[in-house]
Structure 1
Amino acid sequence: MLFNKIEFAFFFPLVFLLYWYLFNKNVKQQNLFLLVVSFFFFACFDWRFLFLLLFSIILDFSIAHKIYNSKHHKKRWLWFSILVNLCFLGVFKYCNFFIDNFSETLSFFGFKPNVWSLQIILPVGISFYTFHGLSYIIDVYKSKIKPVESLVDYSLFVSFFPLLVAGPIERATHLLPHIQSKRHFDYSKTVDGLRQILWGLVKKIVIADSCATYVNLIFDNPDEYSGSSLVMGAILFSFQIYGDFSGYSDIALGTARMLGIELLQNFSFPYFSRDIAEFWRRWHISLSSWFRDYVYIPLGGSRGSKWQNIRNVFVVFMLSGFWHGANWTFVIYGFINFLYFLPLLLFRKNRDNLTIVNPNNLKSILITIFQVFSTFMLVSLARVFFRSQSVGDAMMYFKRMFSSSLFTFPEIFPKTVLGYVFLFLCIEWIGRNDLFALEKFAMNWKKPYRIAFYYVLTLLIFYFYGQDYQFLYFQF
């Protein structure tokens, strides 16, 4: 059941009405109802993997209590949970990758191995709910939280349906207090949630899906187009993946807010970043902060020597790349971003841009435009590896891109789509200081104009609806 499909348009209003009018007596009723709904939502993708989700939940719920009550074996229980969780993730997501690469290595040295591969489907959301469970176990081990007494509450923390299949990656320290507290209907939060859902659907259906048509055409046939068209393909893919993934996050946050639960912000206008360090603070925030807190800091963070700091950053970027999928393209994508980040780290410039961009004179405007544009282009070029099916495809794409045809006018120049992207960026720019672009946008307009604006956005969604593109991050 996808957020951008008609089934969800019937599913969620029914859940909303039942939640606030039948199951609003106490927090136990609310949580049990949301848990049943979440399991149903997950089962709609593939009911067989519901058992894997249940196993993961029961495992971490039990081990958290073992860690808390153990005096001498805390670390053993911690590593047992980490290894079991990573083994499941490894089998379903990475097993064939390692088998294939092992086979290719043996073949390189003259051996002819008779290898097999697993014919398995990647369970939807496994990377996200595995990281939910790991963060909970580690936080219990570090005594940041006590283990949850209610299995229902913990199960809901892991499987809450808005975030279950594509995040944001939540922390027990943040989400569990919301789950364990009774929620009361709040009209203003409901309207605010609707606005965020609306903007998320605009991002996904109007922006991402419109760009996807041209992105697929260019990336599937790079040898048929000029270098300038390939640059256009990389740029459009950047807007596709941003509209797609941040659109999902907006719908997830808006849906949860309508149910009285606040989720972590996952995107903070990353395409207005002035350097790559700022970009990664604003892009997929829940994943970046997860690796910071559970990998980078335990490795030593910025403490120690400069080389140790570089090593720690390198590990985080490589793991972040590999997290996205079992393909060398994602590993190279992580490495390229590490190379982008390295000069900022060496010259201690990685924390120069901590506040939202706000140029106030002509000189700062020109500097900001250059910084934002160059950062966006660096990100877009790296994403050629992210989008390509293989390293060979990516290298061929670059070879064709940086040819003499780079300086010709692109054969593919979708003026209408680029016009929508421009208007989209204008609204994002105006709302860049808020949680999402429509949070305060048009709020000072007269009511008829504001409602008319929302109707226009809704009509655009219906106009572009029908292109069958699922959310990109479902595959991760």
Structure 2
Amino acid sequence: MFSIALDYFSGLQIEKSKNNKTAKFWLVTSIAINLGFLGFFKYYNFFIDSFADLIGGFGFVIHPWTLKIILPIGISFYTFHGLSYIIDVYKKKIKAEKNPIDYALFVSYFPLLVAGPIERATHLLPQVKKIRIFNYEQAANGIRQILWGLFKKMVIADNCAPIVNEIFANHDQEPASRLVLGVLLFAFQIYGDFSGYSDIALGTSRLFGMELLKNFAFPYFSRDIAEFWRRWHISLSSWFRDYVYFPLGGSRGGMWMKIRNTFVIFLVSGFWHGANWTFIVWGGLNALFFLPLLIRDKNRDNLEVVAMGRLLPNFRDFFNIVLTFALVCFAWIFFRAESMTVALQYIGDIFSSSILQFPKPIPKKEIALILVMLCIEWSNRAQNHGLEIERWNPWVRRFLYAFIMVLILVFANFGNNEFIYFQF
């Protein structure tokens, strides 16, 4: 509530400022307080523990005072909502909102509050203010997207999670082939978990006549890392592009500036996910993977949907999809590991002779369900979600809806399985 009041009042002050100096004062004040809250609650312990470790390396022992608090719900998401609003008002992309209820609804809109997508005031506030009339087609499409999101979360992610947890918890006792299996399953766990939440949020919002920003566009069909990041967590990637990358100079200037700015946004993106060196290394790895494309000016090559108009990709596209997926999975090890030590041990154990062993036991059910998901998404890769199939034969559509519902009822993990991105 304090953040909402701060940004609402700051926006009004910026708009009525007589000169740019006063407007900038309110802009900087709002940004500083917002980032101050985020830094204090989310990163204080990280910095104080890292400082203690650094001092310990010189032979000094200190006992830092750390916070014993629960992270405020949705702080990473609503902070970015408020920041984008203030910056857009300052840049005159949107007028300051006069109605405090409308502004509060924009920031705390319940489908996206705890795990995104990260909305923009320029996109969501106009929808908040207009009169909405129930639209059957929009609502029906929303229910289809909710159904697909439930399938990805409850059937794919929640069935992969116990296997992934077991493998990562006992990585020092598992053969390398099982470690590889653990990483592959985690790739589909986090995709099913996070994109599943986004589908549920977007679908729920459509029931209220609101269209949220698309957050995933079938990222595992990407042919290079640049395309992957145009398709994964789109709202966060585009937020950093517009509010960090472009203000730093973007791709203007020499190659050194492009490389610097690219590393900045990837490292900041990693740090946004959590106060742990594993997330920073994860971001740095993705920047390294992106670097060859940037240097060769190939980072905008794959803008169209893969194999458009064809049933299957050609050999080159297939090879590039597999290679990109392998690079993404390698980086996921750092994202999933609890510490840098665990991540490095995990990677070291993968590169051993046991890589040739057949991984036992094989999770046949989980693999079969993942293949079902991939087949449906591949057939609809040019659409907004896996069940946007209005062009299909009506009886085929009905059969598929019933089939997905049966899979959920039979195979869903109905335990207390929270979404991964709730922790961010």
- TM tier, smaller: over 0.9
Residue identity opposite 2:86 in structure 1 = I
Matched with 1:237 is: 186
Matched with 1:459 is: 406
**Corresponding position: 1:141 with 2:141:** no
Residue identity opposite 2:409 in structure 1 = F
Contact 1:359/1:368 (8 A) holds in 2:
no
Contact 1:228/1:409 (8 A) holds in 2:
yes
Residues 114-139 of structure 1: CA deviation (Å, up to 9, x unaligned)? 31101011112110000000000000
Secondary structure in structure 2 of the residue aligned to 1:299:
coil
Post-superposition offset of 1:360:
6.6
Whole-angstrom distance in 2 between the partners of 1:419 and 1:195: 22
Contact 2:15/2:23 (8 A) holds in 1:
yes
Whole-angstrom distance in 2 between the partners of 1:219 and 1:467: 20
Which of 348, 351, 354 aligns to 2:300? It is 351
Residues 417-452 of structure 1: CA deviation (Å, up to 9, x unaligned)? 1011011100000111011111116x53244x5334
TM-score normalised according to structure 1 size: 0.87
Whole-angstrom distance in 2 between the partners of 1:61 and 1:265: 26
Residue identity opposite 1:453 in structure 2 = L
Residues 83-136 of structure 1: CA deviation (Å, up to 9, x unaligned)? 100110011100000000111111111222231101011112110000000000
Which of 74, 78, 81 aligns to 2:23? It is 74
Whole-angstrom distance in 2 between the partners of 1:438 and 1:361: 19
Contact 1:359/1:365 (8 A) holds in 2:
no
Which of 392, 396, 403 aligns to 1:444? It is 392
**Corresponding position: 1:171 with 2:95:** no
Contact 2:389/2:397 (8 A) holds in 1:
no
Contact 1:226/1:411 (8 A) holds in 2:
no
Residue identity opposite 2:215 in structure 1 = N
Contact 1:225/1:411 (8 A) holds in 2:
no
Change over 3 Å in CA distance of 1:385–1:416 after alignment to 2: same
Q: After TM superposition, what 4+ stretches of structure 1 lie above 2 angstroms from structure 2?
A: 359-364, 443-447, 449-453
Post-superposition offset of 1:416:
1.4
Which of 98, 102, 106 aligns to 2:51? It is 102
**Corresponding position: 1:59 with 2:6:** yes
Residues 290-312 of structure 1: CA deviation (Å, up to 9, x unaligned)? 00000000000000111011100
Which of 329, 336, 339 aligns to 2:278? It is 329
Matched with 1:315 is: 264
Secondary structure in structure 1 of the residue aligned to 2:112:
coil
Residue identity opposite 2:8 in structure 1 = F
Residue identity opposite 2:417 in structure 1 = Y
Residue identity opposite 2:127 in structure 1 = H
**Corresponding position: 1:209 with 2:154:** no
Residue identity opposite 1:424 in structure 2 = M
**Corresponding position: 1:118 with 2:67:** yes
**Corresponding position: 1:182 with 2:182:** no
Residue identity opposite 1:246 in structure 2 = S
Change over 3 Å in CA distance of 1:457–1:360 after alignment to 2: closer
Residues 229-274 of structure 1: CA deviation (Å, up to 9, x unaligned)? 1111001000000000000000000000010000000000100000
Post-superposition offset of 1:469:
1.7
Matched with 2:140 is: 191
Unaligned runs of 5+ in 1: 1-53
Residues 441-471 of structure 1: CA deviation (Å, up to 9, x unaligned)? 6x53244x53343222122222224233210
Matched with 1:21 is: none
**Corresponding position: 1:470 with 2:397:** no
Matched with 1:278 is: 227
Unaligned runs of 5+ in 2: none
Contact 2:306/2:313 (8 A) holds in 1:
no
Residues 192-228 of structure 1: CA deviation (Å, up to 9, x unaligned)? 1100000000000011111111111111110121111
**Corresponding position: 1:434 with 2:383:** yes
Which of 236, 245, 255 aligns to 1:306? It is 255
Change over 3 Å in CA distance of 1:205–1:362 after alignment to 2: closer
Post-superposition offset of 1:362:
11
Secondary structure in structure 1 of the residue aligned to 2:116:
coil
Residues 392-431 of structure 1: pairs in structure 2 closer than 5 A:
392-431=341-380
Say what the alpha-carbon RMSD is for the aligned residues: 1.4
Contact 2:159/2:413 (8 A) holds in 1:
no
Post-superposition offset of 1:328:
0.2
Secondary structure in structure 2 of the residue aligned to 1:298:
coil
Residue identity opposite 1:61 in structure 2 = Y
Change over 3 Å in CA distance of 1:471–1:362 after alignment to 2: closer
TM-score normalised according to structure 2 size: 0.97
Whole-angstrom distance in 2 between the partners of 1:422 and 1:466: 21
Matched with 1:44 is: none
Contact 1:232/1:412 (8 A) holds in 2:
no
Identity among equivalent positions (%) equals 57
Whole-angstrom distance in 2 between the partners of 1:77 and 1:303: 29
Residues 1-39 of structure 1: CA deviation (Å, up to 9, x unaligned)? xxxxxxxxxxxxxxxxxxxxxxxxxxxxxxxxxxxxxxx
Whole-angstrom distance in 2 between the partners of 1:124 and 1:361: 44
Whole-angstrom distance in 1 between the partners of 2:287 and 2:150: 32
Paired residue total: 421
Which of 229, 236, 258 aligns to 1:287? It is 236
Matched with 2:177 is: 228
Matched with 1:47 is: none
Post-superposition offset of 1:323:
0.4
